Amino acid sequence: MKVTLSALDTSESSFTPLVVIELAQDVKEETKEWLKNRIIARKKDGGAQLLFRPLLSKYEKETLENQNLYLIGASKTRLLLGAEAVGLVKECNDNTMRAFTYGTRQNFKGFHDNNDDFLTMAECQFIIKHELENLRARDEQMIPGYPQAKLYPGKSLLRRLLTSGIVVQVFPLHDNEALKKLEDTWYTRFTLKYQPIDSIRGYFGETIALYFGFLEYFTFALIPMAVIGLPYYLFVWEDYDKYVIFASFNLIWSTVILEVWKRGCANMTYRWGTLVMKRQFEEPRPGFHGVLGINAVTGREEPLYSSYKRQLRIYLVSLPFVCLCLYFSLYVMMIYFDMEDWALSLHEDSGSEWTSVLLYVPSIIYAIVIEIMNRLYRYAAEFLTSWENHRLESAYQNHLVLKVLVFNFLNCFASLFYIAFVLKDMKLLRQSLATLLITSQILNQIVESLLPYWLQRKHGVRVKRRVQALKADIDATLYEQVILEKEMGTYLGTFDDYLELFLQFGYVSLFSCVYPLAAAFAVLNNFTEVNSDALKMCRVFKRPFAEPSASIGVWQLAFETMSVISVVTNCALIGMSPQVNAVFPESKTDLILIVVAVEHALLALKFILAFAIPDKPRHIQIKLARLEFESLEALKQQQTKLVTENLKEEPQEGSKEKSA
């Protein structure tokens, strides 16, 4: 029997809550009632047709703090119809991946009418988020009770409510039972094992699962570099002839691991269905503003903003500001070198053990300053990128990533390039690289995981005491969970996590021939990083909404760019070594030409390897080609059917004309 949205009931009083909406404390009753009606209204009437109820009843609100918290859920049939609407891809009984449709649901593997696990909880919450974001204004001119919050036809109501401060936040709830099972197989037992990537994907979604998959892959890929670099560090510290072999291996390694990752990523995302998932039309981002007009592509009324004005903001404000920040970073770097000179002169004058320890202090202070500057600049970059008023979220992210990567690269590596190619002090280069790498890893572990976890534990104890003191007859477990989670920090995405790995990759690859022990420190850090990041996701931050993703996106290009830069730096460092210079005692021109030729040869080898290793395995390519062929055939059959029906109608029309 065909089920339509209009046949679904949205009046269930008891349901499994999936998402929480928190309203501001002073929201007017007419606004609450209007929002509730729009959420539970039928799709044909412009609603989301979801289930909705307050966390507290009227009596409980009088007894407890008046929390404007509301629970959102959906019936099983509504979620399945939503899965079709968002284009989720599932595995069929014939082992192919196809877009899910409610009408053919019995053809999909693992589907039964009494099976509630066909859709993961992350997918259910993603569907609800999609439906809430697609609640659009129809004939309303403003949000009821708030004349200043203007609306126009087609405007996303949730985005307007968020930007107006009426809705404080929308977040998905944790499933405590499923979370406990995930933790037991993930990070609570400190053993060397693979992460449960599929379970992470089922709970947090593809974007976060891909990050942890890449973190695990990158860590294991670093082990050969660490194993080979350790004996080099111990036995041939000053023998640059042997470092040529190590650096060459490093350059080939950096290319191969990135290409092999793309193949592994394609395998995972095909299995999850996101590799063949059709890309949704991108809506304007929440912060985008402009003069109301008609979008030439969609025909909808929406804010329009001149690209000319945006370019003026980028080139006349953002670009000079970024250049000023880069100059300030270089100025701080020169202060660091003054501190190094002071510490060195003090050590040469006294020669005591205390002053030998003091030699490391400037590098440690500089590493801390670098971390502080990176974080302050990040806030400035976010403000500037938002002020540039990009229409699409993808454009906003691309401009933000570019700003942050340029500054972080210069801020973290400028001193190392200066030491290597201006001062030409290899001993100081090794010392600075080791200090920067180790200090940044320790700071990141403390700031990103340990400190937030400690603060969250303190907050959790306070909430439990408050709930235990209640005498009201309420569902204390759910109430405690919602109150605890709403105060948790919001996970802002994988940007900072990928940035940390990107900088680590730079420390390992850029100066590998000078400090081969960097890979070993990176491996040790990443083994703890896996557990600290897992703890952060499960216990420190709110559960993020799942986001379908087919790759690590722009970060793949960032890592590949870093590997190209590493070819140039390592070739230049080897060319500067005393052993290589001794081969060309008279003609430096010949040396430069040979170094440039070797560098070009290695770059050519990198690009040949990248071309020779396909991004997708052969069996994935065949399956994708087959899906494309079947979709074209289905379209052709549909067009043939329409033509046939039109031809059948033509003779009937001709006979009518003759009889007339």
What pLDDT sits at residue 576?
A: 79
Stretch among 203-212, 260-269, 543-552, 596-605 having the lowest mean pLDDT: 596-605
Q: How would residue 465 be classed by pLDDT, with cut points 50, 70 and 90? A: low
What pLDDT sits at residue 16?
A: 87
Please choose, from the candidates 498, 492, 491, 493, the residue with its C-alpha nearest in 3D space to the C-alpha of residue 456: 491
Answer with the residue of higher pLDDT: 235 or 6. 235
Averaged pLDDT score across all residues of the chain = 83
Stretch among 227-241, 456-470, 472-486, 634-648 having the lowest mean pLDDT: 456-470
Are the C-beta atoms of 73 and 17 separated by less than 8 Å?
A: yes
Evaluated on CA atoms 108, 113, 115, 118, the torsion sign reads positive
Most confident of 99-108, 206-215, 239-248, 287-296: 206-215
How many percent of the chain have pLDDT more than 70? Answer: 87
What pLDDT sits at residue 620?
A: 87
Q: How would residue 126 be classed by pLDDT, with cut points 50, 70 and 90? A: very high
pLDDT tens digits for 368-399?
Answer: 899 899 989 999 999 999 899 888 888 888 89
* Average confidence (pLDDT) over 542-568: 90
Q: How would residue 5 be classed by pLDDT, with cut points 50, 70 and 90? A: very low
Are the C-beta atoms of 469 and 483 separated by less than 8 Å?
A: no
Are the C-beta atoms of 533 and 449 separated by less than 8 Å?
A: yes
What pLDDT sits at residue 6?
A: 44
Q: How would residue 200 be classed by pLDDT, with cut points 50, 70 and 90? A: very high
Q: Above 90 in pLDDT, residue 324?
A: yes
Give the list of residues 6+ apart from residue 105 with CB closer than 8 angstroms, or none. Answer: 80, 111
Lookup: tokens for 115? 């099976």
What is the rounded distance in angstroms from the CA atom of residue 150 to the CA atom of residue 158?
13
Are the C-beta atoms of 506 and 433 separated by less than 8 Å?
A: no
What is the rounded distance in angstroms from the CA atom of residue 57 to the CA atom of residue 35?
18
Answer with the residue of higher pLDDT: 293 or 214. 214
* Average confidence (pLDDT) over 575-589: 76
φ/ψ of residue 67, rounded to 5: -95, 125
What pLDDT sits at residue 95?
A: 83
- Element housing 187 (H / E): none
For 114, the 3-state DSSP assignment is coil
Give the list of residues 6+ apart from residue 337 with CB closer than 8 angstroms, or none. Answer: 415, 418
Evaluated on CA atoms 607, 608, 610, 616, the torsion sign reads positive
Q: Up-side HSE of residue 513: CA atoms within 13 Å toward CB?
A: 25
Q: How would residue 483 be classed by pLDDT, with cut points 50, 70 and 90? A: confident
φ/ψ of residue 148, rounded to 5: -75, -20
What pLDDT sits at residue 471?
A: 45
For 118, the 3-state DSSP assignment is coil
DSSP state of 7: G
DSSP-H helix ranges across 359-425? 361-387, 393-418
What pLDDT sits at residue 13?
A: 57
Q: Above 80 in pLDDT, residue 406?
A: yes
- Interaxial angle between packed helices 426-445 and 495-510, expressed in degrees from 0 to 180 and rounded to the nearest 10: 160
* Average confidence (pLDDT) over 147-173: 87
Give the pairing type, strands 142-143 and 89-91: unpaired
Q: Above 80 in pLDDT, residue 404?
A: yes
Q: Above 90 in pLDDT, residue 446?
A: no
Distances from the Cα of 319 to the Cα of 372, 506, 557, angstroms: 21, 24, 22
Answer with the residue of higher pLDDT: 305 or 322. 322
What is the rounded distance in angstroms from the CA atom of residue 261 to the CA atom of residue 466?
48
Answer with the residue of higher pLDDT: 367 or 298. 367
Q: How would residue 8 be classed by pLDDT, with cut points 50, 70 and 90? A: very low
Q: Above 90 in pLDDT, residue 325?
A: yes
* Average confidence (pLDDT) over 304-313: 88
What is the rounded distance in angstroms from the CA atom of residue 246 to the CA atom of residue 513?
7
Lookup: tokens for 161? 């409510």
Q: Up-side HSE of residue 504: CA atoms within 13 Å toward CB?
A: 25
For 234, the 3-state DSSP assignment is helix
For 151, the 3-state DSSP assignment is coil
What pLDDT sits at residue 649?
A: 65
Question: Long-range contacts made by residues 308-311, C-beta under 8 angstroms, separation at least 24?
Answer: 309/389, 310/388, 310/389, 310/390
Residue type (1 letter), 644: T
What pLDDT sits at residue 468?
A: 61
Q: How would residue 501 be classed by pLDDT, with cut points 50, 70 and 90? A: very high
What pLDDT sits at residue 462?
A: 67
Q: How would residue 240 be classed by pLDDT, with cut points 50, 70 and 90? A: low
pTM score = 0.86
Answer with the residue of higher pLDDT: 327 or 636. 327
DSSP state of 317: I
Stretch among 50-59, 63-72, 598-607, 620-629 having the lowest mean pLDDT: 63-72
Stretch among 112-121, 178-187, 527-536 having the lowest mean pLDDT: 112-121
Answer with the residue of higher pLDDT: 213 or 435. 213
* Average confidence (pLDDT) over 119-126: 90
Radius of gyration of the chain (CA): 30
Q: How would residue 7 be classed by pLDDT, with cut points 50, 70 and 90? A: very low
